[in-house]
Structure 1
Amino acid sequence: MCSPAPCHVVTSLRRRRMGNTARSADDDEIVDHMPLVGHVVREMMSRVPAHVSRDDLTAAGLAALVQAARSFDDSLGVPFAKYAVRRIRGAVIDELRAVDWASRSVRRRAREVERTRAELAGALGRVPAHAEIATAMGVPVDEVLANDQDVARAEIIALSSPAGSVIADLLPAHGPTPEQMVEHREQLDYLVHAIAELPERLRRVVEGYFLQELPMAELAAELGVTESRISQIRAEALTLIRAAMQRALAAEAADAAKAAAAPGRAARRVEAYVSAVMNRRDAAASALGSPATA
């Protein structure tokens, strides 16, 4: 027998699977707006040191996209894309704060530069030039400039708090409930497994086009195909991802049975892919020591 809170979560998940047909619409919002994650991550990567993990920021952005699809309220009068991109950007900034992206070497160099700058300022009676700091430290002037840029980026991130911003105005006043957190995590897991289980070429197009924002021409050159073929591969990948997410979170068991019974080679391929995604999800859950909920 479980405690009231876990029981409430399980009941909510069962009720969602049995009758919440709006879930498939949320799935479509998530898949259709995946490019927003790549856009925000790409924008942020241009403002932080090269050692920051793009994958970590992308994961945070995907999680925020899932949460945005679940919590979006069209009565706010804000388009979903605008609402989602602000949620994504806020999550990416939070991830940067949480991981403390400035490496030890960056912090050590920043302290050395500031100490040298202070000593020279005292001796010269003015703010020293970058070249003077570099000469005193015995390093190239480009290294001093790079240090100042890293420090400026850190300040930008520190000052980018959602509190008091438009983001805060758009978000609910309360945090997610325990059952909503479970749903968010579960939905993100499905999406991650669905992308990972794609055939190699399809996965590369999804990652490159949606998450890295590579031009079609660049992906076409990399894969040795035409841009038209990249467009076809992208559409095929999205069809598979939608099928996996809709099956995993089917509102009714009859929907899944109907899809499984559909004739044709294409339907069999989708069925094989969906089964592979579910197996991957189950294997991941077993490895973590917790059974899958579906």
Structure 2
Amino acid sequence: MATKLSSEEVADLWRVYKEDQAAGRKDERLRNKLIETYYSLVRYNAERVWSKLPEGVDLNDLISAGVFGLMDAIDAFDLERGVKFETYCVPRIRGAMLDELRTMDWVPRLVRSKASKMEAARKLAEAEFGRPPSDGEIAAKMELSAEEFDKLKTEANAVNLVSLNKKWYETDSYKDVREVDILADIKGEDPTLGIQKRDVMRLVTKGLNRNERLIIILYYYEELTMKEIGTTLGLSESRVSQMHSSIVNRLKDQLGRRRPEFD
């Protein structure tokens, strides 16, 4: 376990590291000591971000991304500016974690583009008619047939799974207000039921890979069709159906072996 440095030792460590950096040298040993010194900030922020995310995100992935953000902050930090490093580095740490979450995003960029175009057409039609437009009126704005619009609408619906960590607005502090902070609870679900559902989800999806887990979630929880899931994941409808059957058979076998635990 690393020995905690005093404030004077940390100041000396910074001074020597920055002097070496200015001279074109990079002492990895000194930088590693600085990383150890501020690692608790990485873990603290990773746990805060992770606590607000859906199942399936690995805390260690966020921590690893946060360490890279910390390393960038150490290299870019200017001792002469009179700003505390803790204040300076936290936005970079959190930014690196959010970048990592964006790379995990399973909604294809093309799907997001289609959803944006449909939303823009809806707003134009609403402004023109002074009321919520019908699908036919939106389709007319986009110069699409009814069949083409229905297909686009199905594909765009994949965007409806929104990250709870999405930024809502910035504050003067490092802690931005996120989607989860302002999200209204319109269902009023019993907390106990929510815990039970999460436990079931964790049990059911344990051991599944990314695509298999998404198929289960999208089919049984989001109630998408096999065709819609295929569009979302970039797979054919027949391939999704084949994977679904394989997953269900595997889960039946697993649950059958564990039946005595529930008796």
TM-score class normalised by the smaller sequence:
0.3 to 0.5
Q: Taking CA–CA contacts closer than 8 Å with sequence separation of 6 or more, which of the two structures ends up with the larger relative contact order?
A: 1
With the length of structure 2 as denominator, give the TM-score of the two structures.
0.33
With the length of structure 1 as denominator, give the TM-score of the two structures.
0.30
